[in-house]
Amino acid sequence: MKPADWIEISNIVQRAGVPAMVAFARDTKASARQPIRYATFFLRGGWRGLPPASDAPPAPPRDSPSGRPPHCGHPDCDPITRTRETEDDRGLRTVSRCPDCHPATQKGHAA
Ligand SMILES: [Zn+2]
């Protein structure tokens, strides 16, 4: 490897951490079609793209049993109130509970 490669690897070790690099190398080796002879294969193949270790905390559970269901993402649906405001042909506005994500409409839904 070239000196620049070593410098880059040491930067990645500090950024992403050795465990992440080892895990990546192991996965890459397992899925590689050809034998891997050079560590630069890992460097070019993915180590550069590893996220910083400190930036990858374990994700909190998205929907706890006591919490509200996740927002459905519908453009008419208000993420706070979980109601949809719709306008009919006569320009009459109606606010109704979102059928997809309002907590009161979630009964019987299996997550
Ligand atoms: Zn909704």
**For residue range 9-68, what is the model confidence (pLDDT) as tens digits?**
888 888 888 888 788 888 877 777 777 666 777 777 777 777 777 655 555 555 545 567
> Could you tell me if residue 33 is inside a domain?
yes
Q: Quick one: pLDDT band at residue 98, thresholds 50, 70, 90? A: very high
> Could you tell me if residue 75 is inside a domain?
yes
45 lies in the same domain as 77: no
> Could you tell me if residue 64 is inside a domain?
no
Predicted pLDDT at 36: 65
Higher pLDDT, 54 or 78: 78
Can you give the chain as a three-state secondary structure string?
A: CCHHHHHHHHHHHHHHCHHHHHHHHHHHHHHCCCCCCCHHHHHHHCHHHCCCHHHCCCCCCCCCCCCCCCCCCCCCECCCCCEEEEECCCCCEEEEECCCCCHHHCCCCCC
Q: How far is the CA of 103 from the centre of ligand 1 (A)?
A: 10
pTM score:
0.35
Number of domains in the chain: 2
> Could you tell me if residue 61 is inside a domain?
no
45 lies in the same domain as 76: no
Q: Quick one: pLDDT band at residue 72, thresholds 50, 70, 90? A: very high
> Could you tell me if residue 58 is inside a domain?
no
Domain that includes residue 23, residue range? 3-50
44 lies in the same domain as 75: no
> Could you tell me if residue 63 is inside a domain?
no
> Could you tell me if residue 100 is inside a domain?
yes
> Could you tell me if residue 65 is inside a domain?
no
Which residues are in the CB-under-5-Å shell of ion ligand 1?
72, 74, 77, 98, 100-101
